Amino acid sequence: MKGSSLLFAVTLVALADVHAAQGDERIIAPQQLFTPPPAGSYQLPPILAAPDGRVLDERGRPRQLRDLTRGRITLLSFIYTHCTDAVGCPLAFSTLAQVRDRLAGRVKGAQLVSLSFNPDYDTPDVMRMFSKSFDGGTKEPAWHFLTTASPAQLAPLLEGFGQDVSPAGEKRLDHTLRVFLIDRQQRVREIYSSAYLLPEVIVNDMLTLAGESR
């Protein structure tokens, strides 16, 4: 976060409507009860080097994640398309859509990347169809929906980012929502949990990185 000088209170509010690809989902969204510091008035120290790994884009083309993030300010989320957790993927999709709308035209080279941790089901075709619900590649900032060829290819990325996931029944996975802010030098500069996944905070953080000297 921004350090101990930043005082904030975040509470979970009652179920709120969002529109996600599966239809109307119910989410538990954090309520912002503080005023974030202005963009550029604080620093975000590097947390770790962003891990690299082999991924597949929406067309099934193999790519290195590092090639997709180099020189870009990236908001990376781990998701899966069948998630219905009230503080999981539906919350992430709702928040990221708001961030995207607020960033439009403000940060050159910004992008959103959502990477599935269910490659057995979330094939490139599934991810491409899913992305259409969010106008994935048709407006700025771009929003890329990626997967991997196998759980074995996914495993190093999950380990590197410290993202937990475990089976929880048919088509269901248990996971903790984490969203990673990656700078142009491919360093993780912030990690957002479900309790701190606030559009205004994220936008200010991305604007802060955009204002740094390259």
pLDDT per residue as tens digits for the range 94-104 = 999 999 999 99
pTM for this entry: 0.84
* Confidence at 125, pLDDT banded by 50, 70, 90: very high
Integer Cα distance of 111 and 71 in angstroms: 11
Q: 24 pLDDT exceeds 50?
A: no
From CA 82, how far away is CA 103, in angstroms rounded? 27
Architecture category of domain 48-211 in CATH: 3-Layer(aba) Sandwich (3.40)
Ranges of each domain in the chain? 48-211
206 neighbors 75 (Cβ within 8 angstroms): yes
DSSP state of 96: H
User: Does the annotation list 89 as a binding residue?
Assistant: yes
Q: Do the annotations mark residue 19 as ligand-binding?
A: no
175 is in an annotated binding site: yes
